Amino acid sequence: MTSAPMATHMLLSGNMKCDERARLLNVFNKATLANSISIENILNSSLQRPGALSSEIYDMRRHRAGEARSGFEIARLAYDAHVSMHHCEPSRP
């Protein structure tokens, strides 16, 4: 009695299970979260009364928001580049 469980599993899953894609998606999700948190920080800062927050802290938050934004863009590009070359995105029809 012979069987090929691995091949069957690949057929049933429909798509390649790609560890790299999963890793890049995880990085992207974290970067998205960090980006939205930093934007919230900026919005909260500007909602506060004038003088309630020092300009140094405000500048620091803007700087961090810029870094979070860059990280988000890089993560998105890395994910897109990988799935377009590797064709491993599960949402494809």
Name the site residues for Zn ion (rule: CB under 5 A): 18, 20-21, 86, 88
Closest CB to Zn ion among residues 58, 89 = 89
- What minimum distance in Å lies between the beta carbon of 74 and Zn ion? 18
Closest CB to Zn ion among residues 30, 86 = 86
Q: Interior CA angle at 27 toward 38 and 33, to 5°? A: 25
Q: Residue 39: what residue type?
A: I
Beta-carbon neighbour count of residue 31 at 10 Å?
Answer: 21
**Taking a C-beta distance cutoff of 8 angstroms, is the pair 68, 34 a contact?**
yes
Closest CB to Zn ion among residues 51, 93 = 93
- What minimum distance in Å lies between the beta carbon of 87 and Zn ion? 8
- What minimum distance in Å lies between the beta carbon of 18 and Zn ion? 3
Q: Residue 49: what residue type?
A: R
